């Protein structure tokens, strides 16, 4: 179905990213961007720990007399779960654990969130998204034919947490985002910016059947500029300031906090498991494991040989995909045949719908000029 691809000599990214560029040694621009723009400035060591400890001291001081001194968005995945432990037990913070239920939680995710919150004696706040609106919006994205059909749930996660922080004047949001497992990023043609509210609304206007009255929305200007520079709300990524090895962190949580493993990163959501494990590679030929494994390769957590061996097997379990397909169709209130029709329909790109790409490009240029943008290539 898909043509043979050229693969990077250093990681496992390949020409399924149509914008990939190889140097004379066959190394891709994802790797070279990491080695040039991230690795020299990243300090997952004693220096980094000293820096994040000072930040934590400031958070604790400003939070004196309050019920909590920061919030942490928790999905139940490894990054956010380990961050919750780290913040409470190592940094001495008093976080409010914030979870958004967009209708896709797996039983494993529910288990992991409950166990960690209970064992660490923390408070959990859960925001439940209006399912009728969420369902209709999710269906609109399937109808649109674009690759980033997970945008509704991710947009809801970010928007809800940012709005909560703004409403209650919470000055610090801690996130599990990190270079260790995410320094190689999904190409834009695979996963466009989930925060683009203009595109979200355009797709809903074209394909939706209900008005979004309760669904939370955000936009790049609001959360990238207004919140941090006007409201003074800071987004902190503590995992970037210390050694963070995915397997070691996972095993620690399993041993000490009764954590249950997932088959793959982001599989704490049943929808994401279906989307990344089956929909993306089957309909578009995009395998997000290549991004995830490549991050682990350049940070020394996996060999290229190990990654290539894993990629020889499909991203989804052949034995369960029929059940997952039926589950998603039923969840969306449609027939299996209708969902199959969206899988078979012509593919579209984010450029086929209204978007704010110009604004993201402008913001990236400004932030790079100011030395604030050190993320990987998109």
Segment 282-304, tens digit of pLDDT: 999 999 999 999 999 999 999 99
Question: Over 70: is that where the pLDDT of 72 sits?
Answer: yes
Question: Over 60: is that where the pLDDT of 74 sits?
Answer: yes
What's the distance, Cα to Cα, between the start and end of the chain in Å?
A: 25
> So what's the pLDDT on residue 319?
77
In the chain, % of residues over pLDDT 70: 94
- The model's pLDDT over 315-367, given as tens digits with 9 standing for 90+, comes to 887 778 888 999 999 999 999 999 999 999 999 999 999 999 998 888 777 77
Mean pLDDT, the chain, rounded, equals 92
Average pLDDT, integer, range 13-29: 97
> So what's the pLDDT on residue 374?
63
Question: Over 50: is that where the pLDDT of 1 sits?
Answer: no
CATH 1.10.3720.10 is right for the domain spanning 32-369 = no
> So what's the pLDDT on residue 264?
63
- The model's pLDDT over 3-12, given as tens digits with 9 standing for 90+, comes to 568 999 999 9
> So what's the pLDDT on residue 266?
59
Measured distance CA(310)–CA(91) in Å, rounded: 36
Question: Over 70: is that where the pLDDT of 170 sits?
Answer: yes
- The model's pLDDT over 98-111, given as tens digits with 9 standing for 90+, comes to 999 988 788 888 89
Question: Over 60: is that where the pLDDT of 2 sits?
Answer: no
| Top-confidence range, 47-61, 217-231, 249-263, 360-374 | 47-61
Q: Which of residues 366 and 74 earns the better pLDDT score?
A: 74
| Torsion sign over Cα 246, 184, 276, 76 | positive
Lowest mean pLDDT among 74-83, 125-134, 268-277: 268-277
Place 375 in a pLDDT band, splitting at 50, 70 and 90.
low
User: Shortest CA distance to 317 belongs to which of 267, 361, 353, 365?
Assistant: 267
> So what's the pLDDT on residue 46?
96
Average pLDDT, integer, range 123-132: 95
Q: Which of residues 317 and 13 earns the better pLDDT score?
A: 13
> So what's the pLDDT on residue 223?
83
Q: Which of residues 319 and 43 earns the better pLDDT score?
A: 43
């Amino acid at each position: 179905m898909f043509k043979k691809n050229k693969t990077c000599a250093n990681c496992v990214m390949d020409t399924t990213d149509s914008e990939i560029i190889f140097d004379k040694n066959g190394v891709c621009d994802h790797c070279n961007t990491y080695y040039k723009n991230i690795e020299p400035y990243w300090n997952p060591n004693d220096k980094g720990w000293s820096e994040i400890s000072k930040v934590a001291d400031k958070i604790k001081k400003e939070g004196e007399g309050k019920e909590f001194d920061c919030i942490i968005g928790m999905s139940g995945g490894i990054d956010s779960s380990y961050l919750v432990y780290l913040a409470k037990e190592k940094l001495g913070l008093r976080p409010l654990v914030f979870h958004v239920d967009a209708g896709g939680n797996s039983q494993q995710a529910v288990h992991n969130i409950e166990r960690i919150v209970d064992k660490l004696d923390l408070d959990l706040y859960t925001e439940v998204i209006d399912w009728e609106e969420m369902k209709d919006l999710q269906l609109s994205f399937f109808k649109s034919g674009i690759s980033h059909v997970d945008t509704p749930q991710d947009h809801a996660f970010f928007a809800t947490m940012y709005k909560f922080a703004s409403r209650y004047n919470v000055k610090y949001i801690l996130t599990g985002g990190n270079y260790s497992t995410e320094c190689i990023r999904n190409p834009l043609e695979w996963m466009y910016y989930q925060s683009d509210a203009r595109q979200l609304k355009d797709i809903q206007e074209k394909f939706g059947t209900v008005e979004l009255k309760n669904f939370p929305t955000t936009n790049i200007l609001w959360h990238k500029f207004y919140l941090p520079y006007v409201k003074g709300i800071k987004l902190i990524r503590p995992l970037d300031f210390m050694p963070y090895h995915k397997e070691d962190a996972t095993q620690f949580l399993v041993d000490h906090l009764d954590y249950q493993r997932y088959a793959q990163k982001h599989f704490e959501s049943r929808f994401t498991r279906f989307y990344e494990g089956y929909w993306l590679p089957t309909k578009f030929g995009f395998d997000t494991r290549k991004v995830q494994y490549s991050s682990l390769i350049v940070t020394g957590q996996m060999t290229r040989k190990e990654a290539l061996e894993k990629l020889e097997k499909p991203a989804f379990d052949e034995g369960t995909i029929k059940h997952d397909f039926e589950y998603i169709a039923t969840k969306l209130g449609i027939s299996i045949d209708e969902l199959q029709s969206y899988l078979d329909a012509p593919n579209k790109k984010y450029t086929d719908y209204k978007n704010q790409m110009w604004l993201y490009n402008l913001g990236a240029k400004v932030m790079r000029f100011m030395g604030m943008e050190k993320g990987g290539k998109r």
